[in-house]
Amino acid sequence: MSTQQTNNKKRILSGITPSGNSLHIGNYFGAVKPQLELQNDLTTDTHYFIADLHALTTVHDAAALEKNITGVVLDYLSLGLDPSNSVFFRQSQVMSHTQLAVVLANYVSFGQMKRMHAFKDKLQKNVGVESINMGLFNYPILMAADILIYKPFGVPVGEDQRQHIELARDIAENFNRTYKKDVFPLPEPLISKTIGKIIGTDGKRKMSKSLGNIIGIFEDEAVIRKQIMSCFTDPNRKKATDPGKVEGNPVFLYHDLLNDDLAEVADLKDRYTVGTVGDVEVKEKLFLAHQRMFAQARDRRRNLEQDLNQVKEILKNGADEAAKVADATMKEVYQVLGIENQLN
């Protein structure tokens, strides 16, 4: 039963880890926005989830975890996730993700796992290999299970997740080859070339909460303003009258993403290039553009916060719906493995 479809629609799957309690514009433009566009595409059947078990690699405090999960769920819904159009759920509420992860670990080698970026990055930060948390080391296996259990056609994510999807494909191929059966179709990474990697406000590295180089979406206005005002620009420009560089300048990258007033953006770029506008004005206009773009979402979030029971209900219904597909795959997997149990 190898299918990447529901009712003739291409199945799409993606997840987000609640390692913090809110999303930033890197998450939004790199992943959430493309995911929401697919939700509104009539040829796709979208499944999006909160990867709460993945957060255990870093969050070891029950109250903080719950707060993060609720925060990210509210962010997603406020940004436009429509539960009547997408199956929206929490990973831990669909039991077969972890069941499949235990199985898939047997079709990937230690050598393959050692090459994973998340693990290698941790080692570079001078954490001794002996003290690496096994949840972090195994993370890509759970992620492969998250994906393969839905037999999706495509996985919309940012560039930093490409290696994980490639591993999921390798595991699927190995499994299919071992049992001479196309149990798992190979999922396509759906990654934008232009916005798959949003640069941080330091102008150097990928925008990431742990690097402290983010622009948030739902934080207080004073916080967002500060994040924007501290943004790196053209390092060679000392005064507002010096000609500046627009290309690769993060402030202008953000203007291109956030500012709906295209004439204003063109004017700022022209004036920056010849040296007739200061950084402060460019950033001030960026802050106003941010406010315009997210005003509606911020309002929606304030309303949703008042009705957390409704949010819980949405997630429960989503988990029930997701489990139908996931459990059917798990049943098939156990059959192929030669394991008889209550599922089959």
Contact set with ligand TYM (CB under 6 A): 14-17, 26-27, 30-31, 51, 54, 143, 146-147, 155, 157-158, 160-161, 164, 196-198, 206-208
CB 294, CB 217: distance < 8 Å: yes
**91 vs 272, which CB is nearer to ligand TYM?**
91
Q: How far is the CB of 188 from ligand TYM (least distance, A)?
A: 12
- Report the Cα 318 to chain-centroid distance in Å: 18
What is the amino acid identity at position 8?
Answer: N
Q: How far is the CB of 197 from ligand TYM (least distance, A)?
A: 5
Which of 10, 33, 67, 206 does the annotation list as catalytic?
Answer: 206
For residue 206, indicate whether it is catalytic: yes
CA distances for 131 relative to 68, 126, 203, 215, angstroms: 25, 11, 32, 32
Which of 10, 33, 67, 209 does the annotation list as catalytic?
Answer: 209
- DSSP-assigned states of every residue in 13-48: EEEE--SSSS-BHHHIIIIIHHHHHHHT-TTEEEEE
Q: How far is the CB of 85 from ligand TYM (least distance, A)?
A: 19
Q: Which residue is nearest to ligand TYM (CB)?
A: 30
CA neighbours within 13 Å on the CB side: how many for 307?
Answer: 10
The Cα–Cα gap between 65 and 92 comes to: 13
For residue 331, indicate whether it is catalytic: no
For residue 209, indicate whether it is catalytic: yes
**165 vs 268, which CB is nearer to ligand TYM?**
165
Q: How far is the CB of 98 from ligand TYM (least distance, A)?
A: 12
**34 vs 244, which CB is nearer to ligand TYM?**
34
**90 vs 269, which CB is nearer to ligand TYM?**
90
Q: Buried b vs exposed e over 105-142: b needs ≥16 C-beta within 10 Å?
A: eebbeeeebeebeebeebeeeeeeeeeeeeebbbbbbb
Q: How far is the CB of 160 from ligand TYM (least distance, A)?
A: 5
**Which three-class secondary structure state does DSSP give residue 326?**
helix
Closest CA to 227 of 209, 249, 248, 243: 209
**164 vs 269, which CB is nearer to ligand TYM?**
164
Instruction: Please give the structure tokens belonging to residue 171.
Output: 């595991």
Q: How far is the CB of 21 from ligand TYM (least distance, A)?
A: 12
CB 14, CB 38: distance < 8 Å: no
CB 38, CB 21: distance < 8 Å: no
**175 vs 254, which CB is nearer to ligand TYM?**
254
Active site residues: 122, 206, 209
